[in-house]
Amino acid sequence: MLVMSQAVDDLKLGYLAIQAEFINLAELKWCLQVQAEAQPPPPLGKVLVREGYLAPRDLEYLFMIYHARMKDSGGTPTSPPDPLLMAPELTIERIERAVVARLGRALRSGVFGRFRVLEQVGRGGMGVVLKAVDERRAEPVALKLLVGAGGATVKDIERFKKEAAIMAQVRHENIVQIYDVGREKGLDYIVMEFIDGVSLAELLDERLPTVEETISIGRDIAGALEFIHNRGIYHRDLKPANVMLENTGRAVLMDFGLAVFDKFEVKGPRTGSVGTPQYQPPEQAEVGGRYGKIGPWSDVYGLAATLYHLLTGAPPFEGTDRAQIRRLVLTSEPRPIRDLNPRVPERVAQVVEKAMAKRPEDRYATPAELKKELEALIAAGRPKHQQQPPPRRGWFR
């Protein structure tokens, strides 16, 4: 057996476990963390078995493969040497790059399990999103592969899968439909409704929506929030990137990765910060702080902050880093909407700004209350002083 340091042995064993589709990248990182926290650190193989990722016979198989690969270090015509296994020192960063590259090659083949891949439509911290055809369904689906690259942890993935399984029971026209949660080739995946449109963040890259469109979007998402709140589900991360706008004009609430279920004061964190700084309410910027508990009014603020961006072209608060933005959220007022866009009718600005009040008791208490106000604006007819958008492009064509 080739003599190596324990760390190199362990990383190569972990790399082989990923190649053999026993574990994914996030699970390897988790087991390395468990190993590092133990005294003395056990071999990685024992950690993989103890954490339930491998059976003892699986570990024996990996050791057999490892020794065979190392013995045949020159490779064969049908099996060239793996540069990562031959490297004097292997790092988790090199493994991550190799895993991502391997996934890219696999997806270019156009097939992933029972799915026929059509195109990649997004990439985020949790993984990659594909437009695909599911052999179980007639229409295209959005297939989210939870790769575990970057800062994503196995706990993040497990939480996301659990929440996706719960959200699969939710049916509402303005909430993305979850069809399935599963695992293929060592990767966890989520199958979702495919929304033929763009996120509000992408829309903002092209143009400001009209005031009328903004009110309609707000009404749709307020209705979606009312629906999930009545079922004890709270989103906690309202922002333009988490709302899709379909070609038909339907707004769809997405991404429940930070959602909590049941009551905030029981399930939520007691300190710290929750959500995206530019759109989070003060009680989420400083959990357990001066602004009190997180509640339904917190999603009201998040939606209003999103509408503020749609009306003005900028989020309520901006800064050089997350900490500075959170300080502004806690201590400052955003610029009045009509100062940034005088074409916004005064009543529209009043409704959005009230929903963004610093103190929760000064806002609309529930999404239902905000929805009622937005419906009243729609019923009043098209605002007289409405901005004219530039020529429509992208999803409007």
- How large is the C-alpha radius of gyration of the chain? 25
Are 376 and 197 within 8 A, CB to CB? no
Vertex 143, ends 138 and 145: CA angle to 5°? 155
Q: CB within 8 A of 158, min separation 6: which ones?
A: none
**Dihedral (CA of 308, 127, 326, 371) sign:** positive
- Give Cα 224 distance to the centre of its chain: 18
Beta strands in the chain (DSSP E): 111-112, 115-123, 127-134, 140-146, 178-184, 187-193, 197-199, 233-234, 243-246, 251-253, 260-261
Residue type, position 193, single letter: E
- d(CA 323, CA 148) in angstroms, rounded, equals 26
Sheet holding 111-112, edge to edge: 111-112, 115-123, 127-134, 140-146, 187-193, 178-184
CA atoms within 13 A on the CB side of 195: 26
Chain position carrying tokens 């990767």: 187
Neighbours of 312 (CB within 10 A): 21
Q: Which of 394, 226, 210 is nearest to 310 (CA)?
A: 210
Q: Which of 9, 237, 255, 299 is catalytic?
A: 237
Are 334 and 354 within 8 A, CB to CB? no
DSSP 8-state symbol, 378 = H
Q: Which of 382, 395, 392, 397 is nearest to 208 (CA)?
A: 392
Q: At what angle are helices 25-37 and 154-167 packed, to 10 degrees?
A: 130
**58 belongs to the catalytic site:** no
Burial of 332 (0-12, 13-18, 19+ CB in 10 A): exposed
Catalytic residue numbers read 237
